[in-house]
Amino acid sequence: MSVPVELWGVRYAQGGGLTDAERATRERLRLRAVERFEGGQKNAEIAAALRISVRSVERGRRAWRENGEAGVLSQGSPGRPRLSEAQIAKLERELERGPLAHGWADQRWTLARIKTLIGRLFHTSYTVEGTWRLLKRHGWSWQQPTRRAIERDDDAIEVWKKETWPRVRPPRQSAGPGSSSRTKPTSR
């Protein structure tokens, strides 16, 4: 059994959604549904014929009734706030100044801090994931220190792993039979 496709009113979290081709396919399906609305077919018949949910057909019929064919046409990509090339150049200059220049207590740029900086500078909002995509698109990458701390003692670390860790490590859970009930541990 196939899962019905939703055509109207679907929202996607964190920048998900449809490609332009997928959006065009959905729009063609909606227009086929409109032809059937005009032909007087019932919602259940349309849903079965187009392999979409009845609820989706109901939403489409309502949009068509309220706004005509324009109500079922794709409104395009919801997009995301984009910075212009001039704004990207300004962001890069501000990042090079460092976090201290922007009020943070240390010299670490985190995605959350960069997201906040973008909001302060350009009055536009990005998600943390969107901030990462923006930086990656413009050639930035995450960084890690190129050298280890001078204070690091590899021999002491190995001794700790072999002697101390086995003593402080929490015991493994028993492999015995368990229970799926929180209130009756002996039930199965």
The widest CA-to-CA distance across the chain, in whole angstroms, is 81
Given a contact cutoff of 8 angstroms between Cβ atoms, the answer to whether 71 and 63 are in contact is yes
Given a contact cutoff of 8 angstroms between Cβ atoms, the answer to whether 116 and 126 are in contact is no
First CA to last CA distance, the chain: 33
Domain ranges of the chain: 1-79, 85-137
List, for residues 15-26, the tens digit of each pLDDT value.
456 677 888 888
CA distance 50 to 31: 11
List, for residues 54-68, the tens digit of each pLDDT value.
998 999 899 889 988
Q: What is the pTM of this model?
A: 0.41
List, for residues 118-152, the tens digit of each pLDDT value.
999 998 888 888 898 888 888 887 766 667 778 88
Q: Count the neighbouring beta carbons within 10 Å of the beta carbon of residue 109.
A: 18
Task: For domain 1-79, give the fold.
Answer: Arc Repressor Mutant, subunit A (1.10.10)
The pair of structure tokens assigned to 22 is: 């997928």
